[in-house]
Amino acid sequence: MDVLLCGDLDAGEALAWQQALSQALPELRWHDVAQARARPEAISAALVANPPPGSLQGLPRLGLIQSLWAGVDRLLADPTLPAGVPLARMVDPAMSQAMAETALWATLALQRDFFVYARQQRQGRWQQHPQRRADEWPVLVLGQGAMGGTAARALQAAGFPVQAWSRGAGAAALQQALPRARVLINLLPLTPATSGILNAALFNALPRGAALVNLARGGHLVEADLLTALADGRLSHAVLDVFGHEPLPPAHPFWRHERITVLPHVAAQTDLRSAAAVAAANLRALRDRQPLRHLVERGRGY
Ligand code: GLV
């Protein structure tokens, strides 16, 4: 089986993927974009890590696009993405677990004022704040997919009162949940329906001093609204792992904002050690004409 491997992978990473998958499926033959262009009719599957637009056009026998990323918003925004080809996103329990760890870390740090203490250390200031209990620190998780669901369960197990919302629950349910949330964690897929959902109207519905944790996509957040909400005390802190432009440009105000914690898109990285088996299972299913897993509904956007 001839497979195109392309996207956000350096040479070493690409080789590691090839080796891991060839171990599971020795018949695989690997192609990069240039090699696929030379023999487009040979390619029957593509393994892609957030590839640049245009990478997948002109492959007449493509039978599967397997994303190595959980989020497929960039792929779906590519007008040259072949229309009829099944597209699968990466759903890997190890990735969901990593995301749950990040959500838990951010929530604990907010509940126990650890970001405040980090700021105080930079100022050489010794000042103790009242210690809050997890059960008085309600968390609202947006998104109830593999990651949102795993994060919500981990937070609940740690003693936080957790509300979970997904788009299917409707706007009224979100309006009802927001006023209780000390921490708002975003794990929604980025779609036209969720783009810009983290905006002033939503921040204004949170209790004063709530915190935002965006672990999904930069496109969910209206950056100017966040800066305003932090400036006027509506929000106390934001933990951001994802940005409209990545890498976050050096001059961007988020870098040096004392109430924003910036992570370089690491909340849940694809882990080859487990994700290779997920991708291999779908390549095997394609070969054996079995049902493919984790397929994206393109109209829905995830
Ligand atoms: C990372 O953001 C991913 O979508 O896997």
Tens-place pLDDT, residues 239-260 = 999 999 999 999 999 999 999 9
- In whole angstroms, give the CA distance from residue 261 to residue 282: 37
Q: 135 CA to middle of ligand 1, Å?
A: 31
Q: 269 CA to middle of ligand 1, Å?
A: 7
As a whole number, mean pLDDT of residues 191-199 equals 97
Rg of the chain, C-alpha, whole Å: 21
| Alpha helices, DSSP H, located in the chain | 11-24, 33-38, 73-76, 93-111, 114-123, 146-157, 171-177, 200-205, 223-231, 253-256, 272-287
Identify the residues whose C-beta falls under 6 Å from ligand 1: 69-71, 270
The greatest distance separating any two alpha carbons of the chain, rounded to the nearest whole angstrom, comes to 67
- In whole angstroms, give the CA distance from residue 19 to residue 40: 23
Question: Best mutation site among 8, 13, 69, 92 for ligand 1, i.e. most ligand atoms within 8 A of its Cβ?
Answer: 69
pLDDT for 203: 98
Give all strands of the β-sheet with 139-142 in edge-to-edge order. Answer: 162-165, 139-142, 183-186, 210-214, 235-240, 260-262
- In whole angstroms, give the CA distance from residue 90 to residue 295: 9
pLDDT for 206: 98
pLDDT for 26: 97
C-beta separation of 209 from 231 below 8 A = no
What are the structural domains, with CATH classification, of the chain? Answer: 2-92+270-287 (3.40.50.720), 95-262 (3.40.50.720)
* C-alpha 224: how far from chain center: 21
C-beta separation of 29 from 58 below 8 A = no
Q: 69 CA to middle of ligand 1, Å?
A: 5
Q: Whose CA is nearest to atom 2 of ligand 1?
A: 71
As a whole number, mean pLDDT of residues 24-44 equals 97
Parallel, antiparallel or unpaired: strands 183-186 and 162-165: unpaired
pLDDT for 144: 97
Residue of 74, 217, 220, 234 marked active site: 217
Question: Please, which pLDDT band fits residue 266 given cuts at 50, 70 and 90?
Answer: very high
As a whole number, mean pLDDT of residues 135-147 equals 97
Residue 214 identity: N
* Nearest atom in ligand 1 to 95's CA: 5
CA neighbor of 148 nearest in space, from 96, 71, 218, 70:
96
* Nearest atom in ligand 1 to 242's CA: 2
pLDDT for 174: 98
Count of C-beta atoms within a 10 Å radius of residue 295:
13
217 is catalytic: yes
Question: Best mutation site among 47, 48, 50 for ligand 1, i.e. most ligand atoms within 8 A of its Cβ?
Answer: 50
pLDDT for 205: 98
- In whole angstroms, give the CA distance from residue 137 to residue 132: 8
Parallel, antiparallel or unpaired: strands 29-31 and 64-67: unpaired
Considering Cα of 28, then 32, then 38, then 43, what sign does the dihedral take? positive
pLDDT for 155: 98
- In whole angstroms, give the CA distance from residue 185 to residue 139: 7
265 is catalytic: yes
Count of C-beta atoms within a 10 Å radius of residue 267:
26
List Cβ<8 Å contacts ≥24 apart for 52-61: 52/7, 53/77, 53/78, 53/79, 53/80, 54/78, 54/80, 55/4, 55/6, 55/7, 56/4, 56/80, 56/81, 56/82, 56/85, 57/81, 57/82, 59/4
